[in-house]
Structure 1
Amino acid sequence: MSSNVVAFAGDWHLSGNWARHRIAEVGARGVRTLFHVGDFEIRAGLPGERFRAVVDEACREHDVTIYVTPGNREDWPMILGASVDERDDFGPLAWFGDRIAVLPRGHRFTHGGRSFVSLGGAPSINFETCVRGVDWFPEEMITRDDVAAVVAGGPAEVMIAHDAPDAPWQTGQVEGICTHNPGGWSAMALAYAAIGRRRITEAFLAVAPELFVHGHYHVDDSRIVELPSGDECRMVSLDCDGTDGSLAFVDLDTLGPAAGS
């Protein structure tokens, strides 16, 4: 495998056994950098602490470091209030373990000769049935200021997010979910979710990446989408814990799937 390969993982939802399995797979392929696209579940309390301890131990064992672009199912006040530390060339990050770092919204960095931008957060479509401050945090929503900062930063080659942009810049399966509402969500829930997609879309079009990777919709899909400039972007949606489609290997030399993927 090329030495310039990284891994991307979809939603883990506090599943320690699944996380161990995927980290071992990444390490066995000689890949040292794993980008997690959200719903990792950075949580306060014992379940969150135990999960992070399991993940950190597996990362040390297999020499893997995880960089998390947070999703909606995270304790956002805990993330936003965390101190930052510049341990490596990714810049100042919030570290939740020896090998677990959270990327701030709009964070830009260079890795493997490629420019990256991370824009975490997404609306919880089930927020109406959640308890504020327990399993739903309004800080999950990407703000207008977050978007403005990403737009001002200009293009990047790779964009990592939890949510997806609007159609026509979605994979086929994500477009189907957004169009047909298979979950039967209320009009208020759909409107809330749409705000997040609109904000991601504005940032996405300004960044104009060659590769965009996200989670959130729990589907394994990819599609080449055309940007307004006429350039192309490979849109990748990752599935969640318990599925083979929740892990992807990318060769940064080509920004395509790594050999053997």
Structure 2
Amino acid sequence: MNDDVEVRVAIAGDWHSSGYWARRALGMLHDQAPDVRTVLHLGDFNLSSNTPWAAYRRSVMEAMAANSIERILVTPGNHDDWSQLGPRFDQHPGVPYWLPKAPGISFLPRGYRFEIGGRTFLSFGGAASPDQGRRIEGKDWWGNEEPTEADVARALAGWTVDVLLTHEAVDGGTRLVEDVIARPNRRLFDERGLSASRRSRAHVTEVWTRLAPRRLFHGHMHVRAEAHLPDSRSVYSLAANNSPGNLGILDLTDLSWSWLD
């Protein structure tokens, strides 16, 4: 995947199957940045095989057509159906999964590198569901939703990149995310899920630390936040649907970021 023409791209946080929010977000994007035609989505797009998925998919596709969005490239989250994604990525290693009934929407495998507008990107998706104790494995959480040491090794085997796209947060990222991590909702999250989350963050943090890209964008934590490090790197946490901070614009000429609210 290589496109040297685009100057700006949009980046979006979790949408959680909200057709309403997809229409609103893409409409806002077209109003404020009509030149943008690619959305980099940070997961919990909510790929599924359930009946509501078909209606949501139609809403997204209609919103894409109405607002001149050519492609949405998804870095999968923990609430994207890994019973579909895992086998697909295993069968076709390193190849994005373009949805057969949704032209222009693609899910990216972990460690996938690509280029847009002369900037290099790495997609490293997945995260652990901290509430997996309240879910049913194989139905609404999956063991392979969590990145592994092997995934980390594959990601680190390639060249460095300008931008890292993840669903999972990193340790030591933004202050607001660190506050969320430090105060988990014990009524929803059990120790098994929290332990998996710590392990998942450690894997993503290793990729972030060792590759040292200039920008990191993640979702999952449902808060808008940013941090700018002494070495000129920056971390951005995007909020979830129906919240300010779910969408922004990355300028590929200088990697500057602007929030769209």
Q: Structure 2 length as normaliser, TM-score? A: 0.89
Find the partner of 2:26 among 17, 20, 23.
Answer: 23
Partner of 2:9: helix, strand, or coil?
A: strand
Partner of 1:49: helix, strand, or coil?
A: helix
Partner of 2:10: helix, strand, or coil?
A: strand
Retained in 2: the 8 A contact 1:5–1:258? no
Aligned to 2:83: 77
Relative to structure 1, the CA distance from residue 203 to residue 18 in structure 2 (aligned partners, 3 Å threshold; closer, same or farther) is: same
Segments ≥4 residues shifted beyond 6 Å:
none
1:218 equivalent in alignment to 2:235: no
Aligned to 1:9: 12
Aligned to 1:153: 158
Deviation at 1:178, TM superposition (A): 1.3
Distance in 1, matches of 2:6 and 2:257, equals 14
Find the partner of 1:124 among 129, 144, 158.
Answer: 129
Retained in 2: the 8 A contact 1:60–1:99? no
Find the partner of 2:197 among 187, 193, 197.
Answer: 193
Distance in 2, matches of 1:187 and 1:80, equals 25
1:46 equivalent in alignment to 2:46: no
Partner of 1:122: helix, strand, or coil?
A: coil
1:144 equivalent in alignment to 2:173: no
Which ranges in structure 2 are unaligned for 5 or more consecutive residues? none
**Percent of aligned pairs with the same residue?**
35
Which residues of 2 match residues 166-185 of structure 1 at below 5 A? 166-167=171-172, 170-183=173-186, 185=189
1:236 equivalent in alignment to 2:236: yes
Which ranges in structure 1 are unaligned for 5 or more consecutive residues? 85-90
Relative to structure 1, the CA distance from residue 183 to residue 221 in structure 2 (aligned partners, 3 Å threshold; closer, same or farther) is: farther
Deviation at 1:3, TM superposition (A): 5.8
Distance in 1, matches of 2:228 and 2:19, equals 33
Distance in 1, matches of 2:152 and 2:229, equals 21
Retained in 1: the 8 A contact 2:111–2:155? yes
Retained in 2: the 8 A contact 1:159–1:209? yes
Distance in 2, matches of 1:151 and 1:259, equals 30
Q: Structure 1 length as normaliser, TM-score? A: 0.89
Aligned to 1:87: none
Instruction: Count matched residues.
Output: 249
Aligned to 1:67: 73
Deviation at 1:144, TM superposition (A): 1.2
